[in-house]
Amino acid sequence: MMPATEQDKSATRGWKFLRWMRWFLFLAGTLAISYVALTLLYANFYQRAAGKALEEQISAHEHHQVTPPAAKEGDVLGLLEIPRLGLKVAILAGTTSQTLRLGVGHIEGTALPGEPGNAGIAGHRDTYFRVLRNIRAGDRIRILTATGPSVYVVDWTRIVAPSDTEILAPTPGSSITLVTCHPFYFIGAAPNRFVVHAHKE
């Protein structure tokens, strides 16, 4: 029997490494897909729960029950719809990573949705606000809160730097500003922000 040459040993090590890498990548891919699937499933479940919570708020408001306490991070504030784009998502208080995985978030320090002033609402470009890439002037945005529905008409869209806070400046009338990262398909931390501004109809 011929002794194994150094070249044979190297080839064997190479095949073992490739076999190990194949299984590692398969496992990593399976785990990644499972994580995404579970995250989407949980977000879908949360959206349904948020809808029920909003219905309870509306009912309480109609029956003149006691004013609810100030909203805390993740609480349901309302529902945002853009009919032409097929978007319907809960508006939650705050903009932490956890909150934005479950819905879109009200930016602290801005007016509350449906109330006078400029309400800032943020969302991830790779989840709920991905559809904003197709929004255009004249589109209608409907916001439903415990105090009732409000309809807004899109004035403009703009790409700005993350440091541009003027987009969230107070307005004399009732308006909303939607904010997400840009470019929509950028890999990694996006360098800009995509902004949608709309006034109350």
127: nearest Cα among 78, 79, 180: 180
Mean pLDDT of 2-16: 63
Q: Residue 140 burial by CB count (10 A; 0-12/13-18/19+): exposed, middle or buried?
A: middle
Confidence of residue 30 (pLDDT cuts 50, 70, 90): confident
Percent of the chain scored above 90 by pLDDT?
A: 58
Domains and their CATH numbers in the chain: 1-201 (2.40.260.10)
> How does the average pLDDT of the chain come out, rounded?
84
* Cα 83 to Cα 104: distance, rounded to the nearest angstrom: 16
Confidence of residue 108 (pLDDT cuts 50, 70, 90): very high
Max Cα–Cα distance, the chain, nearest Å: 93
Confidence of residue 1 (pLDDT cuts 50, 70, 90): very low
pLDDT in tens, 63-78: 565 555 678 999 999 9
172: CB partners within 8 A, 6+ apart: none
12: CB partners within 8 A, 6+ apart: 4
pLDDT in tens, 117-162: 999 999 999 999 999 999 999 999 999 998 899 999 999 999 999 9
């977000």: which residue's tokens? 43
> At 143, is the secondary structure helix, strand, or coil?
strand
**pLDDT of the residue at 23:** 77
- For residue 183, cis peptide bond before it (omega within 30 degrees of 0): yes
Q: Give phi and psi for 148, each to the nearest 5.
A: 130, 180
- Residue 14: CA count within 13 A, CB half-sphere: 6
82, 65 contact by CB (below 8 A): no
3 pLDDT above the threshold of 60: no
**pLDDT of the residue at 70:** 74
Residues written for the chain = 201
pTM of the model: 0.72
192, 134 contact by CB (below 8 A): no
